[in-house]
Amino acid sequence: MLHLPNIPAAALARRVIRKLREAGHEALLAGGCVRDLLLKRDPKDYDVATSADPDQVEALFKRTVAVGKQFGVIKVLDDDTDGYDVEVATFRYDGPYLDGRHPSSVRFTNAAEDAARRDFTINALFLDPESGEVIDHVGGRADLDAKVIRAVGEPRRRFEEDKLRLLRAIRFASGLNFDIETETFKAIGEMAGEIKVVSAERIQAELTKLLTARGQSRGFRLMFETGLLDAILPEISAMFGVQQPPEFHPEGDVFTHTMLALDLMPYPVTITLALGVLLHDVAKPPTYDDSTDRIRFNGHDKLGAEMAGEILRRLKYPTEIIERVQSLVDDHLKFIQVKKMKTSTLKRFVRKAHFDEDLELHRIDCLAGPGTLDTYQYVVERLAEFQREPEKLSPKLPIDGNDLKQLGLQPGPKFKELLGAVEDEMLEGRIQTREQALDFVKSRTGTD
């Protein structure tokens, strides 16, 4: 017997089901929320499946949105509070999928036929919230118990209907730490190249879910084994077998290092940090050089930032995410120099936007390689020191361009250089006052 948690989203779903039943319709909780409740996880949302057709659903509830009425899906909004909604879908049987995503037609039907058209058995379960009974038409409970991802019915048919399911199978297997059933896994490998017909936006959404859940490295290894990685992110596949100098990377090749790094990410993790970890060494394969005393990857930080931008634009990530990930990749080798940096240079580095992610990427990079955290600890200590006097970390300049003009200097690029030099002196602790700043400029320019 399953019981719903006492939270607003679940309470709304229960009220929606009760109202549908009072009107004479069958109504059940369906899909992922049932799976998650059985796994003792918190569902992200609560979906309802019903015998009521879309017009009947709209007539029963005051606030609705026809998010997919042609497929029988109506969103019901909470009458009392904003922020909660429930998708109500009519039991349906799908006609042929001609575009690899949507059925060309639907026929409203019963719960058993509705379960038979869903993607994986663990997502095809229903729950009566009043009795707590789980209704299973496709063996989903047994697969949950066995920790198996299995396509409903014939795997190739399910994947032909929607090619994104190839990637979704991997995501569920990695996030739940389940195995993929043999025939389902075989079909993914046979059809992996067909993922390319799926829009970049849909692939991006699945990758984001995979990267920000648990088991990320397992997901990427499964993608590699099935050929999905070659089809979606060939730049990551190219890491496989690219050796690294063992004195710095005893863990093995670039792919192994990257997979270890994914395993070391905190949970929950931001998508920017996750992408930074995934892509920080993406340029090692094209910069591999063993012509000298040891293997080197000269310039892999700069080229990696360029490649990261190309990859993320291809996947239609937002500009803000792309720029932050490029910054992470571009700066990840700066930590090698931190102990030699001037105080002003180090202060500028640690005060960059989202430096917490740079520092976390460095920690992960170290632990996935040599395992030493000396540099990380050094930066943590210096950062704490700087933060005790935040006015000295980001000082306000006591002079500006008008002061430079009053000294007889002509406006131009030199102004930025001079004011930058003043800030350097302030960051080093050698200038504290306006008079000191003016004297410094005079000494640099020969003005009185």
pLDDT in tens, 242-270: 999 999 999 999 999 999 999 999 999 99
What pLDDT band is residue 94 in, cutting at 50, 70 and 90? confident
Task: Write down the pLDDT at residue 40.
Answer: 95
CA distance 40 to 392: 50
Residue 420, domain extent = 401-445
Q: Say if residue 409 is in the same domain as residue 305.
A: no
- pLDDT, one tens digit per residue, over 25-41 is 999 999 999 999 999 99
Tokens representing residue 201 in the block: 């936006």
What pLDDT band is residue 82 in, cutting at 50, 70 and 90? low
Residue 168, H or E segment: helix 164-176
Domain annotation covers residue 133: yes
Task: Write down the pLDDT at residue 279.
Answer: 98
- pLDDT, one tens digit per residue, over 395-437 is 999 999 999 999 999 999 999 999 999 999 999 999 999 999 9
Question: What is each CA distance from 227 to 193, 213, 244, in whole angstroms?
Answer: 7, 21, 24
Q: Say if residue 105 is in the same domain as residue 43.
A: yes
Q: What CATH number has the domain bearing residue 108?
A: 3.30.460.10
- pLDDT, one tens digit per residue, over 137-150 is 999 999 999 999 99
What pLDDT band is residue 227 in, cutting at 50, 70 and 90? very high
What pLDDT band is residue 81 in, cutting at 50, 70 and 90? low
Give me the number of domains the chain comprises.
3
- pLDDT, one tens digit per residue, over 120-173 is 999 999 999 999 999 999 999 999 999 999 999 999 999 999 999 999 999 999
CA distance 308 to 90: 42
Q: Say if residue 379 is in the same domain as residue 424.
A: no
Helix, strand, coil % in the chain, rounded to nearest 5: 55, 10, 35
Domain annotation covers residue 20: yes
Identity of the residue numbered 438: L
Instruction: Confirm if 338 and 355 have CB atoms less than 8 A apart.
Output: no
Q: What percent of the chain has pLDDT over 70?
A: 99
Instruction: Confirm if 307 and 282 have CB atoms less than 8 A apart.
Output: yes
CA distance 404 to 418: 9
Given 345, 366, 388, the domain boundary residue is 388
Is the pLDDT at 14 greater than 90? The verdict is yes
CA distance 346 to 379: 9
Domain annotation covers residue 329: yes
Domain annotation covers residue 323: yes
CA distance 234 to 167: 15
Q: Say if residue 128 is in the same domain as residue 268.
A: no
Q: Say if residue 424 is in the same domain as residue 280.
A: no
Task: Write down the pLDDT at residue 43.
Answer: 95
Q: Say if residue 262 is in the same domain as residue 122.
A: no
What pLDDT band is residue 96 in, cutting at 50, 70 and 90? confident
Task: Write down the pLDDT at residue 314.
Answer: 98
Given 350, 366, 388, the domain boundary residue is 388
Task: Write down the pLDDT at residue 3.
Answer: 84
* Mean of pLDDT over the chain: 96
Residues 3-12 have a mean pLDDT of: 91
Q: Say if residue 435 is in the same domain as residue 367.
A: no
CA distance 209 to 216: 10
Q: Say if residue 98 is in the same domain as residue 239.
A: no
Q: Say if residue 271 is in the same domain as residue 356.
A: yes
Domain annotation covers residue 296: yes
Q: Say if residue 95 is in the same domain as residue 12.
A: yes
Question: What is each CA distance from 392 to 166, 169, 223, 337, in whole angstroms?
Answer: 53, 52, 48, 22
Q: Say if residue 441 is in the same domain as residue 306.
A: no
Q: Say if residue 368 is in the same domain as residue 421.
A: no
What pLDDT band is residue 97 in, cutting at 50, 70 and 90? confident
0.75 exceeded by the pTM? yes
